[in-house]
Structure 1
């Protein structure tokens, strides 16, 4: 059955087109608590943009203003975040998961998880084939040991991906 409550793809691309909205969602997804105060969010984003910690006050105020007036109301309207204008707190909502699917493809090192898996798969295939075809050096080790080693490597990579997305996984289990 099709999920008809998802955000349209065009809306997701529009959300992700702005670096402050992307950074807001990244910070909320990786936050240990359920919500983030607007001031803390503005400080983190302005520090990222300027490369200074703490960021200059003018940069922090500019980010805070644009978040408050433009970005958070847009994300709130689309159901991606809940922005409480009285307490100035921001919390992820149901449609955040739709956007996270488009954001969660990068590792912390800038390559996609699919590139990591694909590279590991190709290397493991070539080495195991090399042992079976008795290629020099690699055939000195039993193919079963190579296969077991690569399965362990896949388990480590999967664990790393799950760990990097741990807070979004915890939140999704709570819903």
Structure 2
């Protein structure tokens, strides 16, 4: 019998994160002491998907079946969770940390860069205006100021326009 590799392949991680239900399973387990029953998971995911609490029975049942037949076996096969089909208990395993690192990185990257764009744009615009007022920049401000305003606007759009 071969031993599990210690690190998940990047393609496997992307495959996990590409599916909303698999991602929701990992997020729920991380927030709830790394273990839950399939019923708790299906209730939570069905509520997310339907926007209703409690979720409709048919949606809850659909989520339950897809978790039981598809998503939990896949996550277990990749060593991310252990799933006991008899007790219906699901628990995170060590490899979940590899997926979590990508989840954190995705959130940080998507939230951090628009703030940086806004800050650079505002700082650049203020410096340009300050140089113009002080008389140290000839006609450069005509080109530079709009550039910084555009950078700030794009960052603001990314940050608040979602």
TM-score of Structure 1 vs Structure 2, range by shorter chain = 0.5 to 0.7
Provide, for residues 119-169 of structure 1, a one-character-per-residue CA deviation record: whole Å limited to 9, x for no partner. 465268548857985979xxxxxxxxxxxxxxxxxxxxxxxxxxxxxxxxx
Provide, for residues 21-43 of structure 1, a one-character-per-residue CA deviation record: whole Å limited to 9, x for no partner. 111112122x2323111111001
Larger radius of gyration: 2
Aligned residues: 129
Provide, for residues 9-61 of structure 1, a one-character-per-residue CA deviation record: whole Å limited to 9, x for no partner. 111121122211111112122x2323111111001101111111111111101
Normalized per residue, the structure richer in helix is: 2
Equivalent residue for 2:28?
27
- The structure-2 alpha-carbon separation of the partners of 1:83 and 1:128, relative to structure 1 and needing over 3 Å to count, comes to farther
Provide, for residues 80-101 of structure 1, a one-character-per-residue CA deviation record: whole Å limited to 9, x for no partner. 1111222212121111111122
- Normalized against structure 2, the TM-score is what? 0.66
Structure 1: runs of 5 or more not aligned: 137-175
Matches within 5 A, 1:25-104: 25-29=26-30, 31-104=31-104
Matches within 5 A, 1:91-170: 91-104=91-104, 105-106=106-107, 112-115=110-113, 118-119=116-117, 122=120, 125-126=123-124, 129=127
RMSD over aligned Cα, in angstroms? 2.7
Structure 2: runs of 5 or more not aligned: 135-162
Once the two structures are TM-superposed, the CA of residue 66 in structure 1 deviates from its matched residue by 0.8
